[in-house]
Amino acid sequence: MEVIIVDDEKAMHLIMTRMLAKLDDVKIIGCFQETATAFSFLKDNKVDLLFVDIDMPRENGLDFSKRVRESGWTSKLVFVTAYKEYALPAFDVFAFDYIVKPISEVRLQKTVQRAWAEITKETEVIHSSNQERYPPLIDPLTKREIEVLQLISNGMINKEIALELNLKEGTIKNHIVNIFSKVQVKNRVQATIIGKNLRLIK
pLDDT number for residue 184: 82
Residue 16 pLDDT greater than 70, yes or no: yes
Lowest model confidence (mean pLDDT) among 124-128, 137-141, 147-151, 166-170: 124-128
How far is the C-alpha of 38 from the C-alpha of 35, rounded, in Å? 5
The domains of the chain are located at 2-124, 133-197
Are 38 and 85 in contact by the 8 Å Cβ rule? The answer is no
Q: In 3-state terms, what secondary structure has residue 127?
A: helix
Looking at the structure, give the CATH architecture of the domain made up of residues 133-197.
Orthogonal Bundle (1.10)
pLDDT band (50, 70, 90) for residue 134: low
Confidence of residue 93 (pLDDT cuts 50, 70, 90): confident
Q: If DSSP codes are grouped into helix, strand and coil, which group holds residue 160?
A: helix
The confidence score (pLDDT) of residue 104 equals 92
Measured CA to CA, the distance from residue 195 to residue 50 in angstroms comes to 28
Do 2-124 and 133-197 agree at the fold level? no
The pLDDT value given to residue 97: 93
Answer yes or no: pTM beyond 0.75.
no
Burial group, residue 164, by CB count within 10 angstroms (0-12, 13-18, 19+) = middle
Burial class (CB in 10 A: 0-12, 13-18, 19+), 169: middle
Count of residues in the chain = 202
Closest CA to 37 of 18, 21, 59: 59
Q: What is the CATH number of domain 2-124?
A: 3.40.50.2300
Quote the CA–CA distance of 4 and 20 in Å, as a whole number.
11
